[in-house]
Structure 1
Amino acid sequence: MSRTHRLFELLQMLRRRRRPVSGAELAREAGVSLRTLYRDIAALQAMGAGIDGEPGVGYVLRPGFLLPPLMFSEEEIEALALGAKWVARRTDEGLSDAARNAVTKIAAVLPPELKPLLEDDALIVGPSWERPQHVELKLLRRALREERKLAICYRDEKGARTERVIWPVAVGFFESTRVLAGWCELRRDFRHFRADRIETAKILETRPSRRRQTLVKEWRKNMLTETDGMLAYGRSAPANLKGNPMAKELVFYTNPQSRGMIAHWMLEETGAPYAIEIKDYGTTMKAPEYLAVNPMGKVPAIRHGETVVTEAAAICAYLADAFPQAGLAPEPAARGDYYRWLFFAAGCVEPAMSNHSVGWDPATQDMQRRFGYGSYAAVMDTLARAVAGRRYIAGDAFTAADVYVGSMIGFGLRFGVIDKRPEFEAYWSGLENRPARLRAAAQAEKLASKQAWAPA
């Protein structure tokens, strides 16, 4: 490495740090001796670099010092080109134009041998799931930049419209949607608003009573930081009773955007304290530590003391038995319908819904014999008869079977993978507002927000 390049790298190291850093740490990172590091610092200071500090105290680069980079590396050029392509395809017209202009300016200063990297199409940004938007994102970004209140008309997922005044905090650009985070004066709390559901928006002259940086800190703190069900809901586990299942550690492995919601609802119904461990698809779900819990590398799963249970239906059945005080299972002699419909939902309803959602159903009698559920139509007809006129699926009381069957029907109705039959809608309407389900849904939403908005 040339001395010129080494000096530039040293400046980059100092730029990345906001607090003084010791010469020894800089020397280790640069791969040079401490004596050489001191000589390099002195050389940069002689050239006019705003470096404050001295040996034995530490060094910091004063804010505002700028030194033009020597040149981008090949990977830096690829990163800039790919980032500009993403912005051009995933944001609003204003940012798209700005990204193209930035690339043009970068190209103007690149040497001829590096310009092809900026124009290379080897790295491609694919199309995203575009939703029509009534309000330009440029307006939302302006409200953020100017720190002004925003008056909006918002339509929720059920079509209900509300007029709100919000204090914008951030705009999230996700693959399938754009989301505005802000303090809502109507709800007196932080809320997230999908941009495609904002029907009108107007920037107000008034400003929020707190600066945006303060709001950002409050918003991040508001997103669930506790992942322990006992702390979140103020429960305690009495440990003085020998053999009491409440005294055993109960760990819930999940992802807030998964079938884990079924087990989450069930856990809330038991009233037992539990800890939550979030697993990410493709990474921590496939890590050796979690594969030791569930070799399939998927969620949900629970560990109760030394007992591990996977599969949502099995978790529901296990928890009902492990916490009999919650009354989530009938007496053993009256469990015929309970077992029947709990496992019918797991063994027939879910696979039939999954196959149907991707446009495939067993078409012939021979194919239907090969699949345990027969046909999608037969499954839906059977399920409709099972819930018709019933508040609960297995008798006069709510049970774990209702958690699983209700979850299947609620999911199917929401995402259009089952028909909106009156039998299904009536049954689900009696379950969707249960306090335990609403608590689980609220906690899952906060966990999902924390996960989605986590700093990169």
Structure 2
Amino acid sequence: MSRTTRLLELMQVLRRHRRPVSGNSLARELGVSLRTLYRDIASLRAIGAEIDGEPGMGYLLRPGLMLPPLMFTEEELEALALGLRWVGRRADDGLSLAAGDALAKLTAVLPGELRHRMQDSALWVGPGWERPQVVDLETLRRAIRRERKLHIDYRDQQGKRSSRLIWPFAIAFFESTRLVVGWCELRQAFRSFRTDRIEAASPLEERYPRARAVLEREWLDSLLPESVSVESYAGATSNRREECHMQHDIVFYTNPLSRAGIVHWMLEEIGQPYRMEVLEFGAPMKSPTYLAVNPMGKVPAIRHGDTVVTEAAAICAYLAETFPEAGLLPAAEARGDYYRWLFFAAGPVEMALSLKHAGFSLTAEHEMQFGCGSYEAVVETLAKAVAGRRYIAGDTFTAADVYVGSHIGWGMQFGTLERRPEFEAYWAGLRDRPANRRSEAYIAEAMQAQAAAGSAQPTS
């Protein structure tokens, strides 16, 4: 890569980050040394780029620098086309029409070969999970743009109806649902509302008292873990120190360096709000407060209202059944495989891999006594279960894939499970899911921060 290309790429990376990003993260993303990154940042500053920050503090690109327009690469064009087509299929009528117009305008100004590639894209958007919606999303979007209060009639998951006055500031589009996020005057807290459960919506002329961007920042801060220690997990914390008074539907007790990562992935898949309580190993996990949640003093665990669930497999099964709109519970005809392999991974696989990793060699008598049998039999059974299959149960991705896939991916990565073609192929179809990548990014930041602090600890 030439130096000019590298500088332009650095500008693009900085543009993608709205908050300060560490030099290590930038260098890793660009594939250069930290020393080279510092030189490149100095060069960009010399030609007028307003880059705030310094080594150890992170960097942020301020608006203002204008560079000559760049020709799109083939992958950039595919990303634009796919994104606009997704909006055309998944958004409301107004955004759908706008996406079609934008795609037409973009195609019209491209050179011939690129125009052909844009029109002949092999990336399609399949049908989504359509839900009847009483209120047009344009009504919600207009209230957000104008920063106006919104009166809604809402029906919750149990069918209870209520009238709310909210300050809407964002709409989240998930594959299976849409959520409007705002401050609820009734609950005096941030809340998210399924748009298909909003039965009526009336925008008011009254503006809400804080700017939309301010509300968004406050909401994002409220979702960050509050009990992460700055020393151990500096890369995963917010600068905010004051107590948050926001309420959340799901509380997730975790440590990034543990099998709680399975539940983290699952929570990202279901698309529901949750708050993380990050517990360090040792005394915090054995405190009376946490032992009241999980007497084993281990993570993961979740609290959902008055319901407490521990054990990663049980949590995955619970979340899939509690939030069926996420589509992580298979059709009835696939439930046998679903439960079978979900708990096969939680029982025999977990036990066999742990015993082997700890150096235990089972005798024939032990194999009869232990529920897992032999390590070889467990691996062979698991390999046959995933051989030639994209998903472990039926034709759709389910919570069982989160759990089984996590054990296969981590097992191969850390050497507790032998690499076999069946495992490689199955994991390759799961690892790039956006929800998994988000949970992995969080774990990577925590590991980097803890390595820098020199306080690596065992998993729990």
TM-score normalised by the chain length of structure 1: 0.51
Partner SS state of residue 58, structure 2: helix
C-alpha deviation, 1:192, in angstroms: 3.5
The structure with higher relative contact order (CA 8 Å, sep 6+) is 2
Question: Does the 8 Å contact 1:301/1:312 carry over to 2?
Answer: yes
Rounded to whole Å, the distance in 1 between the matches of 2:429 and 2:34 is 39
1:208 Cα shift? 4.5
Shift of 1:416: 1.5
1:200 CA displacement: 9.9
CA distance in structure 2 between the aligned counterparts of 1:305 and 1:453, rounded to whole angstroms: 37
CA contact (8 A) 2:352 2:378 kept: yes
Q: Is the 8 A contact 1:260 1:312 kept in 2?
A: yes
TM-aligned CA deviation for residue 349 of structure 1: 0.6
1:289 CA drift (Å): 1.3
Find the counterpart in structure 1 of residue 393 from structure 2.
394
- The 1:417/1:370 distance shift into structure 2, 3 A limit, reads same
| Number of positions where the alignment pairs a residue of Structure 1 with one of Structure 2 | 268
CA RMSD after TM alignment? 4.3
Structure 2 vs 1, CA of residues 201 and 405 (structure 1 numbering), >3 Å: closer, same or farther? closer
| Residues 434-453 of structure 1 aligned to structure 2 (within 5 Å) | 434-449=433-448
| Inter-partner Cα distance in structure 1 for 2:347 and 2:452 | 36
Residues 23, 56 of structure 2: 8 Å contact kept: no
CA contact (8 A) 2:248 2:275 kept: no
- Aligned equivalents of 2:283 and 2:451: distance in 1? 15
The aligned counterpart of 1:214 is: 54
Q: How far apart, in 2, do the equivalents of 1:201 and 1:270 lie? A: 37
* Cα deviation, residue 447, structure 1: 4.2
Deviation track 1:50-98 (CA, whole Å, cap 9, x = no partner) reads: xxxxxxxxxxxxxxxxxxxxxxxxxxxxxxxxxxxxxxxxxxxxxxxxx
2:322 matched to which residue of 1? 322
- Report how far residue 248 of structure 1 moved: 6.5
Q: What CA distance in whole angstroms lies between the structure 2 residues aligned with 1:202 and 1:264?
A: 30
Structure number with bigger Rg: 1
**Is the Cα–Cα contact under 8 Å of residues 251 and 277 in structure 1 kept in the other structure?**
yes
Residue aligning to 2:92:
none
Distance 1:441 1:201 in 2: 23
1:297 equivalent in structure 2: 297
Structure 2 residue matching 1:309: 3-state secondary structure: strand
What do residues 389-412 of structure 1 show as CA deviations (whole Å, max 9, x unaligned)?
Answer: 110001111110000000010011
Amino acid at match of 2:422: E
Q: Does 1:432 align with 2:387?
A: no
2:193 is aligned, of 232, 238, 244, to 238
Aligned to 1:406: 405
Alignment of 1:307 with 2:307, yes or no, is yes
**SS of 2:308's equivalent?**
strand
Query: What is the identity, as a one-letter code, of the residue corresponding to 2:56?
Result: V
TM-score for the superposition, normalised by structure 2: 0.50
> Compared with structure 1, are the counterparts of its residues 333 and 261 closer, same or farther at alpha carbon in structure 2 (3 Å cutoff)?
same
Output one character per residue of 1:218-254: Cα deviation in whole Å (capped at 9) or x when no partner. Answer: 369xxxxxxxxx99x8963217969xxxx97101111
Instruction: Return the alpha-carbon distance in structure 2 between the equivalents of residues 248 and 213 of structure 1.
Output: 33
2-structure distance, mates of 1:419, 1:186: 39
Give the Cα–Cα distance (whole angstroms) in 2 for the partners of residues 447 and 258 of structure 1.
11
**Aligned letter for 1:218?**
G
Identity within the alignment, % = 53
Does structure 2 retain, via aligned residues, the 8 Å contact 1:313–1:343?
yes
- CA contact under 8 A between 2:23 and 2:55: conserved in structure 1? no
Closer/same/farther in 2, CA of residues 219 and 307 from structure 1, 3 Å limit = farther
Give 1:290 deviation, angstroms. 1.1
Paired residues of 1:254 and 1:300 also in contact (CA < 8 A): yes
